Amino acid sequence: AEAKAILELFKELRADEKYKNKSIGILSFFNAQATEIRKVFTEAGFKEENDNYKVSIIEGIQGDEKDIIIYSFSYFAF
């Protein structure tokens, strides 16, 4: 559910003139949740390389500056 909520927030930011061109980082503490977020975004037709966002776990984002950061604290259980 949180991955879908993050997708909706992303869409809202992209629709807002003030934020539409900003880079967005989506961070999770859990690999499984980051994978689920990527899946939800891909199914919605978004691609990291085309849509100026990056989904990552905390360790994978260091040194990669973004204008907006969205944190995902949930854990997706399979």
pLDDT for the residue 73: 85
- pTM given for the model: 0.86
Distance between CA atoms of 47 and 52, rounded to whole angstroms?
8
**Is 74 in contact with 36 (CB distance < 8 Å)?**
no
Crossing angle for the helix pair 2-15 and 31-43, nearest 10 degrees?
50
pLDDT for the residue 65: 86
Confidence of residue 78 (pLDDT cuts 50, 70, 90): low
* The two three-digit tokens of residue 15, written as one number: 């629709």
Confidence of residue 70 (pLDDT cuts 50, 70, 90): very high
Q: Give the pLDDT confidence of 9-39 residue by residue, as tens digits.
A: 999 999 999 999 999 999 998 999 999 999 9
Question: H/E element holding 64?
Answer: none
pLDDT for the residue 18: 96
